[in-house]
């Protein structure tokens, strides 16, 4: 069993033939289940004008998640800070924290919009924020949350932890500012491989070591902290788990080859599709950043990744078309985490005690 907590990042993925609203209500319902399953966090993301993603307003969706749950920490994975004034972000998440004390996180990133028209609509240029600009925005955001900025964000007196969604350059910024990091994507792919001893794996390990070596302790975060984010799909047999990973992998392949990130399609339809050479390469790349298998296989892969990264938490970014299969996957994953299993028992006991009181 894994000795780290598990969390979920739900991007409110749309499904073919469903209205966008179902992606949002589905995310909230998933959060309710995660609350009972002992998950630590339930994060939502920021995407704009993407056909396959309904989650465009993380503060709003996180508020709905917080209102529907009792124990989970909720927040963003993440708010794309260059798209917003730091003051506004501070106000939004401070308001959430005032309403739900001790349960709000603020994960921030710096990616630009998905397409040029979206970037123009966001009043953004085409490139991610430069390191200095991103660090300056993070510093300003932290000052607003602490009541130390030129203007005082309200409400004050709340606790909003900051985390950085980090690429290689983001790791250096987070280390300099004394902030935890959430790492995923290409950095993790070579470290997931069972035989991951190549130059790419070495660079990933060096990047994480560099973050820890350069870390400057902050008042809130005295030591470096790493969370790993990746797709994790669990089923009772390996073939079923591999099929659950197909919809997201195909959507990514479509995005990379056609420039549009589509809704998730049913596995049965994807089985009949023949990928082009380029799509095949992107499908293979998606598989390298996904852990899919039986509970035993997933536990082994995650244990290996945790050992190589020194990560303290797994943030599963999983999605698939079949919501019932996704719910089963979430339950199986929670069962692999000792902290989640312990939290499940405690939450069930608390619920039973509340029911006894309400019947009196």
Best CA proximity match to 95, nearest among 63, 67, 69, 73: 63
Is 131 a member of any domain? yes
76 lies in some domain = yes
| 26-73 pLDDT per residue, tens | 999 999 999 999 999 999 999 999 999 999 999 999 999 999 999 999
Q: Helix (H, G, I), strand (E, B), or coil: what is residue 234?
A: strand
Inside any domain, residue 62: yes
176: domain CATH number is 3.20.20.30
Would you state the pLDDT for residue 119? 81
Q: Is residue 1 part of a domain?
A: no
Whole-number Cα distances in Å, 325 to 11, 234, 250, 315: 17, 9, 18, 19
Work out how many domains the chain is built from and give that number.
Answer: 1
Residue 271 lies in a domain: no
* Alpha helices per DSSP H over 86-167: 86-99, 116-121, 131-146
Q: Is residue 280 part of a domain?
A: no
Neighbouring C-beta atoms of residue 84, cutoff 10 Å: 18
Nearest to 170 by CA among 224, 129, 219, 201: 129
- Residue 355: inside a domain: yes
Q: Which residues of 263-289 are buried (b: 16+ CB within 10 A; e: fewer)?
A: bbbebeebeeeebeeebeebbebbbeb
Q: Which domain holds residue 144?
A: 6-233+292-359
Examine residue 260 and state whether it is found in any structural domain, yes or no.
no
- The model's pLDDT over 259-290, given as tens digits with 9 standing for 90+, comes to 789 999 999 999 999 999 999 999 999 998 99
3-state secondary structure of 107: strand
Using an 8 Å Cβ cutoff, are 341 and 334 in contact? yes
Give 115's pLDDT tier (boundaries 50, 70, 90): confident
pLDDT range class, residue 130, cuts 50, 70, 90: confident
Q: Give the three-class secondary structure for 82.
A: helix
Determine contact, residues 266/16, Cβ cutoff 8 Å.
yes
List the single range of 94-103, 249-258, 289-298 with lowest mean pLDDT. 249-258
Whether residue 177 is predicted with pLDDT greater than 90 in this model: the reply is yes
Structural contact between residues 39 and 6, judged by C-beta atoms closer than 8 angstroms: yes
């Amino acid at each position: 069993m894994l000795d780290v907590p598990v969390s979920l990042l739900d991007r409110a993925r749309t499904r073919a033939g469903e209205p966008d609203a179902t992606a949002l209500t589905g995310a909230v319902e998933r959060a309710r289940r995660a609350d009972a399953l002992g998950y630590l966090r339930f994060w939502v993301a920021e995407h704009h004008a993407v056909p396959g993603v309904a989650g465009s307003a993380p503060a709003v969706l996180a508020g709905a998640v917080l209102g529907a749950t009792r124990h989970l920490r909720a927040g963003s994975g993440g708010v794309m800070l260059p798209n917003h004034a730091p003051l506004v972000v501070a106000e939004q998440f401070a308001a959430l924290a005032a309403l739900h004390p001790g349960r709000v996180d603020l994960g921030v990133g710096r990616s630009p919009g998905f397409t040029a028209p979206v970037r123009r609509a966001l009043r953004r240029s085409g490139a991610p924020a430069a390191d200095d600009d991103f660090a300056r925005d993070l510093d300003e955001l932290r000052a607003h949350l602490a009541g130390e900025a030129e203007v005082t964000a309200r409400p004050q007196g709340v606790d909003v932890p900051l985390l950085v969604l980090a690429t290689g350059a983001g790791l250096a910024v987070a280390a300099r500012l004394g902030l935890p990091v959430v790492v995923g994507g290409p950095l993790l792919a070579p470290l997931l491989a069972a035989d991951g001893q190549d130059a790419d794996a070495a660079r990933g390990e060096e990047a994480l070591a560099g973050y820890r070596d350069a870390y400057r302790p902050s008042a809130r975060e005295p030591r470096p902290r790493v969370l790993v984010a990746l797709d994790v799909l669990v089923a009772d047999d390996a073939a079923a788990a591999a099929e659950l990973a197909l919809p997201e992998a195909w959507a990514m392949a479509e995005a990379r080859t056609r420039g549009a990130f589509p809704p998730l399609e049913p596995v049965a339809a994807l089985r009949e599709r023949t990928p082009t050479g380029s799509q095949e390469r992107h499908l293979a790349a998606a598989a390298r950043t996904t852990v899919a298998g039986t509970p035993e296989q997933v536990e082994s892969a995650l244990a290996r990744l945790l050992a190589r990264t020194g990560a303290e938490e797994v943030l599963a970014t999983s999605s698939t078309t079949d919501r019932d299969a996704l719910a089963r996957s979430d339950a199986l994953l929670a069962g692999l985490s000792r902290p989640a299993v312990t939290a499940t028992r405690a939450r069930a006991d608390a619920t039973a005690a509340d029911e006894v009181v309400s019947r009196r």
